[in-house]
Structure 1
Amino acid sequence: MGSNDKPPLVAILSGAGISTDSGIPDYRGPNGLWRRDPEAEKLVTYEHYMADPAIRRRAWLMRRDSEALRARPNAAHDAVVRLERAGVPVRVITQNVDGLHQLAGLTERKVLELHGTARAVVCTKCHRRSAMAEALERVAAGEADPACLACGGILKSATVMFGQRLDPVVLGKAMAVAKGCQIMIAVGTSLRVQPAASLAGIAAEHGARLVIVNAEPTPYDPIADEVVREPIGSALPALLDGIAATSGRAPAP
């Protein structure tokens, strides 16, 4: 592609694997949280969370001790930002709730968080949103199950728990990106959780080049144009820098 040609729209579908180099363990891998502690799944299941104060108290302690809020972006997150700053249109559709794409410097509106964010809390009654850090300060001060300051309702993280629907607006935007992109890179995701996984198939059906970067096989490997099994921290930067180069745009340092 020449430097005067329009660069391709690149969609990044990211899962837990992109953040493991930042010290955030995945959930379903061999050492994942759900395998190590099956009871932990109740802490992020809406029905259990809303019905049982003991579950909520445990959930707040889990959030307090979570590595996700202390984690920093890694080379893979930085590579996505570098591609954007090189002038290539980028949209990130992420299954992660860690906010590391934005923390790395990616423009907020270019990140679609399918499963919400762990960096905010929402009231289940009046739907007021506030910062997770504020709620955790209250936990540290001795509130085991902090209630909404506006209405007294139950607070939860602004993530999509098991038993909740994805935000239809966010999902709709993600589907539009999948249909409109020229390159879809699924990175660090098992592509087994629907409807997120279906976005890879939608992109391929609409003519996008599908690249899968993941340690383990996925159900979409057979329709991918390229499957990469190398470590994400080195494989994704090489892949994205290559896209920038072939688009006639030098990646930003």
Structure 2
Amino acid sequence: MIREAGTIAGFTGAGISTESGVPDFRSADSPWMQNKPIPFQLFLRSAEARREAWRRKFTMDDLYRHAAPTRGHLGIAALVAAGKMPAVITQNIDNLHQASGLSDKQVIELHGNGTYATCLACGRRHELAEIRTRFEASGEPPTCEACGGIVKSATISFGQTMPEGRLRAALELALASDLFLVLGSSLVVYPAATLPSLAKENGARLVIINREPTPLDEHADIVIAGEIGPILSRIANDL
């Protein structure tokens, strides 16, 4: 099916990165449960909430700072290099698709990127190493050196609007595909989880590779319950 596909839309979730040591969000023992992201509106309202958000951010960063692309990420990169997949849509914020060799244009990050920060007022990019040095020295949440605005990790928090351009790009790829390939996503986070259904309704075949069942399994053409890395490695070797 992969070989015959003209345009593949890849869609990745946390399951593709767990092999790297990046924790998924919903497991009962996940460190995300002890360091939950601060809701966006609370982050805006409260300096104390921003201070706590940055503390939790750096705690989580320390847990997977040495994470490297998995066999799954490399398999995706091989599909892109082979011209099968124009870009990968991801719910992840770990930058591992880029680390596997993909350009920013080949990665549609629906939930942002946790490897840098931006000013919510002027959009200026801020590097985390500098922010951390300032934060640990002062204990105060960072503000933008250019305009004084609130600085936040470049991720989409609960309650924060998803960037329209990214969602539109993801939708366009889904509708252009004849194969929609889900890798390691529970398919319960919306609006991202609507994309496989829309692709399927538009005539694409739907393949889901995930360790646990998803709400769309009964609508998929193929469901594979297993580890993503070995499966994608075999697919990439067959190209």
TM-score, normalised via structure 2 length: 0.90
Task: Report the alpha carbon displacement of residue 7 of structure 1 after superposing the two structures with TM.
Answer: 5.8
User: Which stretch shifts more, 92-101 or 76-85?
Assistant: 76-85
The C-alpha deviation readout for 1:167-216, integer Å capped at 9, x for no partner, is 11110110010001111111111101111011010111111111111111
Task: Report the alpha carbon displacement of residue 92 of structure 1 after superposing the two structures with TM.
Answer: 0.4
Secondary structure of 1:59's aligned partner: helix
1:59 alignment partner in structure 2: 53
2:234 alignment partner in structure 1: 238
AA aligned to 1:90 is P
AA aligned to 1:214 is N
Give, in whole Å, the separation in 1 of the partners of 2:101 and 2:191.
27
2:77 to 78, 81, 84: 81
Structure 1, gaps ≥5 residues long: 245-253
**Is 1:125–2:121 an aligned residue pair?**
yes
1:72 to 61, 64, 68: 68
Secondary structure of 2:27's aligned partner: coil
2:24 alignment partner in structure 1: 26
Structure 2, gaps ≥5 residues long: none
1:227 alignment partner in structure 2: 223
Give, in whole Å, the separation in 2 of the partners of 1:153 and 1:96.
26
Identity %: 39
1:14 to 12, 15, 24: 12
The C-alpha deviation readout for 1:48-82, integer Å capped at 9, x for no partner, is 21222222222212222313444211111111112
Give, in whole Å, the separation in 1 of the partners of 2:220 and 2:184.
15
Residues 60 and 145 in structure 1, CA contact (< 8 A), matched pair in contact too:
yes
AA aligned to 1:86 is A
Give, in whole Å, the separation in 1 of the partners of 2:51 and 2:174.
39
Q: Give matches, 1:1-253, under 5 Å.
A: 8-33=6-31, 36-37=33-34, 40-41=35-36, 43-65=37-59, 66=61, 67-242=63-238, 244=239
Secondary structure of 1:44's aligned partner: coil
Task: Report the alpha carbon displacement of residue 109 of structure 1 after superposing the two structures with TM.
Answer: 0.7
The C-alpha deviation readout for 1:204-252, integer Å capped at 9, x for no partner, is 111111111111111110110111111122123223444x2xxxxxxxx
Give, in whole Å, the separation in 2 of the partners of 1:219 and 1:110.
27
